[in-house]
Amino acid sequence: MLVSIAFLCFFVNPVRGREGSQRASTSNGINVLFIFQNRYNEIMQGKHVDELYLDLLEHIMKNGAVKTDRTGTGTKSLLGYQMRFNLADGFPLLTTKKVPIKSIIHELLWFMRGDTNLKYLADNNVHIWDEWPYKAYLIKNGISVPKSDSEEWKTGLKEFIEKIKSAENFAKEYGNLGPIYGYQWRSWPTPNGGHIDQLAKIIEEIKKNPDSRRLIISAWNVADIDEMAKAGIPPCHTLFQFYVSDGKLSCQLYQRSCDTFLGVPFNIASYSLFTMIIAQICGLQVGEFVWTGGDVHLYLNHLDQAKLQISRRSDIRPLPKMKINPTKTKIEDFIIDDFELTDYNPHESIKAPIAV
């Protein structure tokens, strides 16, 4: 396709002469890039979330470099990838495996409220953050860390979570994940000892100055990275930017580290829903969610699961719809019952071990 576009640009816009040839070379190159990018965007916007995601899985498996990693598991990895989702087409929740939407919503509400303690998630039966504080608890108390797939690990983790839920002082000490997402979003520390509520400021800025190019929230606070890593992990989804055009709100996420099999489906759904929430608060329609990945990887112990999911490509199902309580207009007021997912008919879930 790129070759045919290049020939099209050359014959539609020929420039003769020595200087003209130089101008033509530059102009044609720009035209090729412009037309190709526009066509690429049109194609991406029209594809189902499962098609885009399965394309990514196949791309990593075919072209990814084998690398070591912090967890010792090993990955197939590549640098840089982008997917675009038109939120008017439906809610981008994968159908080639079941994705637990209530866990996604609870985690997003947790972020939005500025909470950083595991207790809220544990109380609501959400266990996507359990492993990191449990490991930190073991290390802090001089207890040997068992293998994460062992019965010893599973039994100890379950007991740890029950204690988080039932013992207030224990939860305060060992459930605190440090200055992670919610803290940075709602209480970014300033040099003079104050704090910035990035989320509240962005909402006001979208309302007052929707054409601003500074509608950005960052969770990557360099001064806090080591502290975040003690009981949690430094932000994987590090920065996002809102964009308003034609009365529609769009959002682009930059994710520095992308656990493609387990994490990315969550991230796509979470930030798509987040965009819908902010659009409602600001009185806007929804536009696109653009996912941009940095180190995009498949763990080596997820390859079989990825192949199974790819095998379901021939039975991709219609996108579900997400309904949000239209009466809610303040970020602090949303609760789990304000969200209703309808017409979701996915394949069964595919389990995979989490790398800690």
pLDDT value at 112 more than 80: yes
Q: In this structure, what are the phi and psi dihedrals at residue 64, rounded to the nearest 5 degrees? A: -65, 145
Q: What tens digit of pLDDT does each residue of 76-95 get?
A: 999 999 999 999 999 999 99
Is this prediction's pTM over 0.85? yes
Share of the chain above pLDDT 70, in %: 87
Q: Where are the beta strands (DSSP E) in 60-141?
A: 65-67, 75-86
What integer pLDDT is reported at residue 25 of this predicted model?
Answer: 42
**Angle at CA 275, nearest 5°, toward 269 and 277?**
100
Closest among 341, 219, 216 to 273, alpha carbons compared = 341
**Active-site residue, selected from the candidate residues 9, 236, 251, 282:** 236
pLDDT value at 326 more than 50: yes
What confidence category does residue 12 fall into, taking pLDDT thresholds of 50, 70 and 90?
Answer: very low
Share of the chain above pLDDT 90, in %: 83
What confidence category does residue 45 fall into, taking pLDDT thresholds of 50, 70 and 90?
Answer: low
Q: What tens digit of pLDDT does each residue of 49-67 get?
A: 999 999 999 999 999 999 9
Residue 301 neighbours by CB under 8 Å, 6+ apart = 73, 352, 353, 355
pLDDT value at 288 more than 60: yes
β-pairing verdict for 65-67 and 75-86: antiparallel
Q: In this structure, what are the phi and psi dihedrals at residue 331, rounded to the nearest 5 degrees? A: -60, -35
Q: What tens digit of pLDDT does each residue of 133-168 get?
A: 999 999 999 999 998 889 999 999 999 999 999 999
Closest among 207, 297, 280, 217 to 253, alpha carbons compared = 217
What confidence category does residue 18 fall into, taking pLDDT thresholds of 50, 70 and 90?
Answer: very low
| 282 a catalytic residue | no
Closest among 43, 97, 58 to 317, alpha carbons compared = 97
Burial tier of 311 (Cβ tally within 10 Å: 0-12, 13-18, 19+): exposed
- Amino acid at residue number 213: R
**Higher per-residue confidence, 20 vs 139:** 139
What confidence category does residue 113 fall into, taking pLDDT thresholds of 50, 70 and 90?
Answer: very high
